[in-house]
């Protein structure tokens, strides 16, 4: 059962776990309110869901690198 959960939802579990860890650190330090903690949890879940479903990454690094190479490659 646990293996099935991990195979199907591994990215979401890791994303929420990392976000929850960061949220606890921010809550203990006393600077953030619960709205920001909810935002952190949502971002962690969304990033994990994108990993699970094979969606495009949040930051398209390859496309950005290709653009930078095309734009500034002639200055080498």
- CA-based nearest residue to 38, from 27, 29, 48: 27
* Core vs surface per residue 10-36: b (16+ CB within 10 A) or e: ebbbbbbeebeebbeeeeeeeebeeee
Indicate the pTM of the whole model: 0.41
Q: 17-70 pLDDT, tens per residue?
A: 888 887 787 777 766 566 677 788 888 888 888 878 877 777 788 888 888 888
Q: Contact at 8 Å (CB) between 24 and 18? A: no
Within 8 A by CB and 6+ apart from 57, the residues are 50
């Amino acid at each position: 059962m646990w293996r099935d959960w991990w195979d199907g939802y591994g990215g979401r579990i890791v994303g929420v776990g990392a976000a929850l860890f960061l949220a606890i650190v921010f809550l203990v330090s006393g600077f953030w309110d619960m709205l920001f903690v909810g935002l952190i949890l949502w971002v962690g879940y969304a990033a994990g869901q994108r990993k699970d479903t094979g969606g495009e990454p949040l930051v398209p690094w390859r496309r950005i690198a290709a653009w930078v190479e095309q734009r500034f490659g002639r200055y080498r």
